[in-house]
Structure 1
Amino acid sequence: MSLQIVFTDARQKNDRGSNSSVASWLDRHLSFNTRVRFRLYKMIAVRMRQRATFERILTLYGRQLRRRGKTSVPRILDEIIDSIVTDGKNYAEAFRPFVPEDEYMMIFAGTKSGDIPGAMELICDVKSRTGVILNSAKKMATQPLLYLGIIVVYLYTIARFVIPSLLVGITMSKTDSMALDILVFASRLASPVNAVLILCFLAFSFVATWWSLSRLTGFLRLWLEKIPPWSIYRNIQGYIWMSSFIALVQSGVPESEALKNQIDRANPWLKERLSAILYNLKHQGGSLPDAMWQAGFDFPSPEIIDDIESCWGGKGAYQRLLEASKNWADEIQIATTTQTKYVQSGFTILMMTVLGGLMIVSEMVGRDMMNIGHFH
């Protein structure tokens, strides 16, 4: 299953009630995926600078997809066009039911500033950078699972094909073998029942971790953000939020209003942090970096807050932040890659230790059996 972090609870119900059908839900959540949206955003950025209208670009993209036998995304594009032409919605509101909230905020900023192509390019740049970070995070999760699978298969093979004959020999000799007892105990962990239990535990852990990323708050969450995957989620989410926030403020939206708009549709984890920042801005009267430090959540991240404080003040502060934000993703990627290497190294050492121990025990069992043979 493809791992993809959903940064907000952004999928919204359409006024036309098209979410009532399973097909429409699949269109929105599966067919109109990140890759498809990026191709559309890039086309919009290029062709709008060539004076093509927004509706014509969507129509062209839909026609291209229909030529390849695809109908799900063209239906969504038709709904967007209808919202613009018939209902008079602006570009951002027409897209809103079909895209994550952070993308909507950037499109909204582009609509307000009159720079839709720039907004589309910003979305592609931000999500492309975070995609690279996510790939590093996936490696962190997949390698330990692979090692666990190797150990389970090894133990199952021993339990299925080796131990029964050893037990017969030990029983007939009426002697004890501590090494065999250890090997039997370890192999029982790989029995079908235990394998199912391990699989259920891993599935539960995955679901619980996934749920906690966007919903867990409070002191426990602050402690968890010192380690992956919560630290990675905070860094990625902070970078994406900051990029959309900068775009909103640059388009003329006041800081407090931009935060309120984002809070209204944020998940519980993000809402807790943005609400604290907004409170400090309104009641403490300090700057944005001061409000972030006073919030006490280290959000977007300690490094980003330091950069914001360094760039803050005078005219063009947000433009300087936008330029600095390109380095944030690179720094997050380096940190994630470093964490991934540490985790992979740790699990490699653990696997080699476990397998090495099992091989030593197996060799001891072999010696015990040889001694029994010599004795008889």
Structure 2
Amino acid sequence: MTEKRTWREYSESLSRQLALRTFSGNDRISLYDDLAFLLENQFKLADAISTLIISDRSANSPRVYCLQDIAAALTCGMSLDKGLRGWVPEQELLLLGAGVSDGDLAAAIRRAMTIARATKEMRSACSAALAYPCLLLISCLFMVQLVSHRFLPRLAVLVSEDQWQGSLQALAIISRGLSEHLILISVSALVLTGWTLWSLPNLTGRVRCHLLDHILPWKLYRDIQGVSFLLNISALLRAQVKTEQSINQLMQRASPWLYERLEATLQHVWQGKHLGAALFASGYAFPSAETVKKLRVLTAADNAENIIENFANDWLQKTVQRIKQTATMAGYVCLGLNAGYMVLILLSTQDLNNLISVHQ
């Protein structure tokens, strides 16, 4: 019996960990939508959770484990955001916590759902942006290896390498150069990629502010973080959280890069400036130079949270469009490299034919 119980507990723990890993953005959005719908139709939170558990029990989905954690937290007298800890991002927990405090939990869940959808849309756009160019680069490197190890040795049998000229010689130099240093190139690319990924949330200072934030991929990261910040701050302001308190809450879970900008903004909020003026005065051009100029004027009004939310939604669409445009440009560049290499191969075969005809 003990062995069976141990195995059952192990299996349950493994299933829960798997559920945590596979609880996707779509699962989050679906949970928020269903829960908000029930609360808007006068269900109590505990009853709404029980209803969703019963309806999802047969599906054996990650959502069931999430709902069980929420139910356990509610049973212990804790709030919804405490039950969701570990299942959803911290920025969404902030909104849910604010909703618990002001008593309008359904509206807070709807705001969290907006953030989840925006995050999912931007991540999907980024994934699509990277996939096609990477595929083209891999295919180009595969062709280089093929030419270097299969094509060029056979050409050398037909015509001595001493007689190779023009495009044929260029093909040999490029292919062998890349093939012989492929490990070094790959390691360098991995190191550069790793450093770039680390630098996006962590690198701070003047070089980042005045140089890197204006070029890709750091500029794109700034845009994405800017959209997320505006959506979060507008949602917190809508939940009647004061500006300085909202910024403080966002700072608690911010990356070093974002923390640097929020801290500078908070200093000016303490001096009595409204959000737009504080962002402008911080000197970091965050979320962007154009944005802070507009927000400096627009957020002076009483309905600042509505203006920020509308502005954030508009900027979200523009950011996604910029991501897609960047992907298109990167795709064209990689396609151009592939096409250029193919043309070089064709020109090389023509040069080879000319050399063979001369020797005949």
| TM-score for both structures, normalised by structure 2 | 0.85
Question: For 1:315-340, what per-residue CA distance to the aligned partner results, in whole angstroms no more than 9, with x for missing partners?
Answer: 22222322333212122223333333
How many residues are treated as equivalent by the alignment?
347
Instruction: Say if 2:286 is the partner of 1:299.
Output: yes
Instruction: Say if 2:39 is the partner of 1:78.
Output: no
Instruction: Say if 2:247 is the partner of 1:256.
Output: no
How far did residue 48 of structure 1 move? 0.7
Instruction: Say if 2:306 is the partner of 1:319.
Output: yes
Given that 1:90 and 1:111 are in contact with CA atoms closer than 8 Å, whether structure 2 keeps it comes out as yes
In 1, the alpha carbon distance for the partners of 2:139 and 2:301 equals 58
- Which of 162, 176, 180 is the aligned partner of 1:188? 176
Structure 1 residues 314 and 186: CA distance shift in structure 2, 3 A: closer
How far did residue 189 of structure 1 move? 4.5
Instruction: Say if 2:266 is the partner of 1:275.
Output: no
In 1, the alpha carbon distance for the partners of 2:315 and 2:117 equals 13
> Which residue of structure 2 aligns with residue 168 of structure 1?
157
| Residue ranges of structure 2 left out of the alignment (5+ in a row) | 1-12
- Which of 341, 352, 356 is the aligned partner of 2:343? 356
How far did residue 93 of structure 1 move? 2.8
- Which of 228, 242, 246 is the aligned partner of 2:234? 246
Q: Write the letter of the residue equivalent to 1:124.
A: M
Structure 1 residues 175 and 32: CA distance shift in structure 2, 3 A: closer
How far did residue 214 of structure 1 move? 1.5
In 1, the alpha carbon distance for the partners of 2:103 and 2:238 equals 11
> Which residue of structure 2 aligns with residue 39 of structure 1?
30
> Which residue of structure 2 aligns with residue 220 of structure 1?
207
How far did residue 135 of structure 1 move? 3.0
> Which residue of structure 2 aligns with residue 206 of structure 1?
193
> Which residue of structure 1 aligns with residue 217 of structure 2?
229
In 2, the alpha carbon distance for the partners of 1:220 and 1:347 equals 29
> Which residue of structure 1 aligns with residue 6 of structure 2?
none
Structure 1 residues 62 and 302: CA distance shift in structure 2, 3 A: farther
Percent identity of the aligned residues?
Answer: 22
Given that 2:277 and 2:295 are in contact with CA atoms closer than 8 Å, whether structure 1 keeps it comes out as no
> Which residue of structure 2 aligns with residue 98 of structure 1?
87
How far did residue 22 of structure 1 move? 7.0
Given that 1:136 and 1:336 are in contact with CA atoms closer than 8 Å, whether structure 2 keeps it comes out as yes
How far did residue 84 of structure 1 move? 1.9
Structure 1 residues 188 and 58: CA distance shift in structure 2, 3 A: farther
Q: Write the letter of the residue equivalent to 1:325.
A: A
Question: For 1:48-80, what per-residue CA distance to the aligned partner results, in whole angstroms no more than 9, with x for missing partners?
Answer: 11112222333333334431233x543332222
Structure 1 residues 342 and 166: CA distance shift in structure 2, 3 A: closer
Instruction: Say if 2:125 is the partner of 1:136.
Output: yes
Q: Write the letter of the residue equivalent to 2:159.
A: I
Given that 1:153 and 1:190 are in contact with CA atoms closer than 8 Å, whether structure 2 keeps it comes out as no
Instruction: Say if 2:45 is the partner of 1:50.
Output: no
Instruction: Say if 2:274 is the partner of 1:287.
Output: yes
Of 180-189 and 249-258, more deviation after overlay is shown by 180-189
| Residue ranges of structure 1 left out of the alignment (5+ in a row) | 1-20
Question: For 1:137-161, what per-residue CA distance to the aligned partner results, in whole angstroms no more than 9, with x for missing partners?
Answer: 3333223222222222222222333
How far did residue 38 of structure 1 move? 1.1
Structure 1 residues 251 and 203: CA distance shift in structure 2, 3 A: same
* Structure in which a larger fraction of residues adopt helix: 2
Instruction: Say if 2:66 is the partner of 1:66.
Output: no
In 2, the alpha carbon distance for the partners of 1:63 and 1:188 equals 63
In 1, the alpha carbon distance for the partners of 2:127 and 2:285 equals 24
CA RMSD of aligned residues (A): 2.7
In 1, the alpha carbon distance for the partners of 2:214 and 2:273 equals 27
